[in-house]
């Protein structure tokens, strides 16, 4: 049977960028354990060939390459928590080189 340890929980919290207080982490570890135990029943179900279907089992529709976006009716600067000279602003990522963008990284 699978168990979810505090270490697992901390790893998951980092992946999910989720700050958890000590109390929350304790509660979550217990809850998740109970839920995962309950989920164990699915192991009894039979096997199935895992041919990947789309969500509806049909083909993705293709859009013509035309300017056709749904226009915004509010200004982005009214939406943004922090905005400056046309940019979304947030505190600098630490330990990043000045020219790094995620395309140098993950995309």
- Could you list the residues that contact Mg ion (CB under 5 A)? 107
Distance CA 32, CA 8 (A): 11
| Nearest-10 Cα torsion for 14, 99, 96, 105 | 40
33 near another protein (CB under 8 A)? no
Residues 47-66 that bind another protein (CB under 8 A): 47-48, 50, 52-66
If the CB atoms of residues 1 and 107 are measured against Mg ion, the closer one turns out to be: 107
With CA atoms as reference, report the closest residue to 39 among 10, 91, 2: 2
Residues 71-90 that bind another protein (CB under 8 A): 71-74, 76, 79-82, 84-90
Cα atoms in the Cβ-side hemisphere of radius 13 Å centred on 42: 7
Structure tokens at 76: 């982005």
1 near another protein (CB under 8 A)? no
Per-residue binding letters, 38-77, with Zn ion (x by CB under 5 A): -------------------------------x--------
| Nearest-10 Cα torsion for 71, 73, 78, 79 | -60
Q: Which of Zn ion, another protein, Mg ion, none does 22 bind, CB closer than 5 to 8 A by kind?
A: none
């Amino acid at each position: 049977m699978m168990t979810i340890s505090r270490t697992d929980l901390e790893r998951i919290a980092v992946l999910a960028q989720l700050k958890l207080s000590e109390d929350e982490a304790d509660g979550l570890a217990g809850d998740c354990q109970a839920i995962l135990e309950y989920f164990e029943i699915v192991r009894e179900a039979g096997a199935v060939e895992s041919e990947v279907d789309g969500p509806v089992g049909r083909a993705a529709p293709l859009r013509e390459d035309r300017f056709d976006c749904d226009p915004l009716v509010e200004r982005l600067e009214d939406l943004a928590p922090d905005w400056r000279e046309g940019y979304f602003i947030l505190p600098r990522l630490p330990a990043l080189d000045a020219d790094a963008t995620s395309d140098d990284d993950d995309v």
